[in-house]
Structure 1
Amino acid sequence: MTLENKTNQIQIHNFTTESGVLYPTLHLSYQVFGPSLNTAPIVLVNHALTGNSNVIGAQGWWNDLIGEGKTIDTNKYSVLAFNVPGNGYDGFGIENYQDFNARDIARIFNQGIEALQISQLFAIIGGSVGGGIAWEMAALNPKITQHLIPIATDWKSTDWLIANCFLQEQILANSSKPIEDARIHAMLCYRTPESFSSKFQRTTNEELAVFNIESWLAHHGNKLQKRFQLSAYKMMNHLLKTIDITRGRDSFATVAATIEATIHIIGIDSDLFFTANENRGTYEELKKYKENVSYQEIVSIHGHDAFLIEYQQLHNLLATIF
């Protein structure tokens, strides 16, 4: 049985966030692609800031990596994807987004896995904030998955990342075109100067009398504004700055040493957001006390977004796992 493109619901009852706020009911929506759950190894895909559970198919954001005959083959694996509560995709918004942090979302996802009667996942894979939530899930339940695959992310939000999220918050709170303007700024973090130079080469759009880089950025802002809610952007941006598997716990070494999964860290050499240096540092620390850990790197001029662009490289890095 294939449940592709059907959105399902789990009710999470009496959930108290780390900040102490009680939510009597939370709606956790999800989609399944490939064989029905518990009939094949299960891969959980955690979406990034503007993503959702629609991983493949119409408007699928990871069609190049996941599907029949693809790297993560839906003939072999059940692919499960939750929507972060408040991402707007399922019609449920959360206005008080500061009630939540990345660990709260990980707790909700773990409860969802329990509700679906999944004893263990084959893999959790996620890019950017989705990968940060994956780290949090494994820290909460060290036995939850055989493979942990965080891509273009890390176990903590750095000062640099928090600073960019703070600027995003200011734009979202104060701009007359909050989604458009925040997206324009974000694209400067997601790409690199080399990526822009390669694509645009200082060319102009003569019809609009602007540089092509300007019209491209405006297009991305306008496109996101049409499909994304302001409350969802605020929520996801806030989660991005709250990743930290050590908050209220012991050191990274102590927390990470309990994770039983084989950890496959994938960085991007030109990432300006979650930098390769941070990823390498995480790997160097991990390998002191954990044998089943690896670090690999996507080589690209395109920066943070390379995990959504360099599909052949990503396939090559993931092929031995899947």
Structure 2
Amino acid sequence: MKDLKHISLRQIVLENGKTIAGLPLTYQHFGQEIGTAPVIVVNHALTGNSNVTDWWSDLIGENKTIDTKSFTVIAFNIPGNGYDDNPENLIGNYRDFTARDIAAFFWKGLEQLSIHSVFAVIGGSLGGGIAWEMAALEPTKINNLIPIATDWKATDWVIANVLIQDKILTNSDDPVSDARLHAMLLYRTPLSLLNRFNRKKSADTFKVENWLLDHGQKLKDRFRLSSYKLMNNLLKTVDITRNRGSFKEIASKITANIHLIAVDSDLFYIPEENIDTLEILRPYKSNVFYHEIESIHGHDAFLIEHRQLSDILETIFSRLGKTISHNN
């Protein structure tokens, strides 16, 4: 795999109190050498990986929105996502791990790279939830927090759908494929499917059925069952207030500029939750901002509407351009 680098984490204590003797953490590094430029950490989504210049190729690279000629970009793999070809039983019981644990792993990895603060942490969906957890763990070490199509907590809707996904993954004869079929309907919208298929058929099958089955097969071909169970379970563990206090208490300690980016048609992480977050933060935090992607495509718009997301990020980075400093 391209430029995959390895870090060994030792004597890890999980949020639930269990201790792990060791855990491999892999990552990829793009752009400038570590220690020579501001650092941007990019967290991948549920079925993603550290190869961010592939799945966000329109956004990250030379002369792109996140310009690798100006920044050091670090992307970690969530341990157990399978991208590093580790054995399936590496992580043990997937229910032992929380998004907060993953955030702690990422900070430990950055520490081993001698990176003690970062210019920005960006993440979409699950990656954005982990970004929130990173900010709560180290509230003064991030200059700019940019969670996209996500939330600082798992809502009842997210928790309910995680349960359905877990049941499919546990009970189905074709678990990864079948779970993906259900998940795709969370990530898109009725209007998105209507716009694309409009009840058209291919032979005796509706094209929308072929599209779903194709997505299921593709994920089955590249994603392990153990990885899917872990990533799915992590979704419901996002909650920066758990065993800590109120959201206001926790968020007030975060010194970063917070840029909330929602999708107007998102059925998974609904924009209203982000707007509520904005309203809670506004009275005592002046550097919080709300941006919205307009799309018929729902949650997946953060991976589809590259131009809109690029425009939003360009606005953010141009605003910050005069204040960029080395934070390594």
TM-score, normalised by the number of residues in structure 2:
0.94
Determine the C-alpha separation between the residues in 2 that align with 1:90 and 1:143.
31
**1:154 match:** 151
Determine the C-alpha separation between the residues in 2 that align with 1:145 and 1:220.
36
Question: Aligned-pair RMSD on alpha carbons?
Answer: 1.0
Moved over 3 A (4+): none
Matches within 5 A, 1:1-322: 5-56=2-53, 60-92=54-86, 93=88, 94-206=91-203, 209-322=204-317
Letter in 2 for 1:221: G
Letter in 1 for 2:297: H
* Cα deviation code 1:265-311 (max 9, x no counterpart): 00000000000011110111111210000001000000000000111
Letter in 2 for 1:268: V
Q: CA deviation at 1:119?
A: 2.2
- Highest RCO, 1 vs 2 (Cα 8 Å, sep ≥ 6): 2
Letter in 2 for 1:277: E
Determine the C-alpha separation between the residues in 1 that align with 2:202 and 2:176.
23
* Cα deviation code 1:167-204 (max 9, x no counterpart): 00000000000000000000000000000000000000
Determine the C-alpha separation between the residues in 1 that align with 2:71 and 2:228.
31
Letter in 2 for 1:53: S
Return 5+ residue gaps in structure 1 as ranges: none
Q: How many residues align?
A: 314
Determine the C-alpha separation between the residues in 2 that align with 1:12 and 1:229.
23
Q: CA deviation at 1:321?
A: 2.7
Partner SS state of residue 317, structure 1: helix
Determine the C-alpha separation between the residues in 1 that align with 2:80 and 2:16.
17
Determine the C-alpha separation between the residues in 1 that align with 2:59 and 2:207.
30
Letter in 2 for 1:224: L
Q: CA deviation at 1:128?
A: 0.2
Determine the C-alpha separation between the residues in 2 that align with 1:185 and 1:37.
41
Partner SS state of residue 50, structure 2: coil
Q: CA deviation at 1:5?
A: 2.9
Determine the C-alpha separation between the residues in 2 that align with 1:166 and 1:146.
35
CA contact (8 A) 1:95 1:231 kept: no
Q: CA deviation at 1:22?
A: 1.1
Letter in 2 for 1:67: G
Determine the C-alpha separation between the residues in 2 that align with 1:37 and 1:183.
37
Q: CA deviation at 1:263?
A: 0.2
Q: CA deviation at 1:320?
A: 2.6
Partner SS state of residue 8, structure 2: strand
Q: CA deviation at 1:19?
A: 1.4
Letter in 2 for 1:183: R
Q: CA deviation at 1:143?
A: 1.4
Q: Structure 1 vs Structure 2: percent identity of aligned residues?
A: 57
Letter in 2 for 1:249: R
Q: CA deviation at 1:20?
A: 1.8
Letter in 1 for 2:205: V
Q: CA deviation at 1:163?
A: 0.3
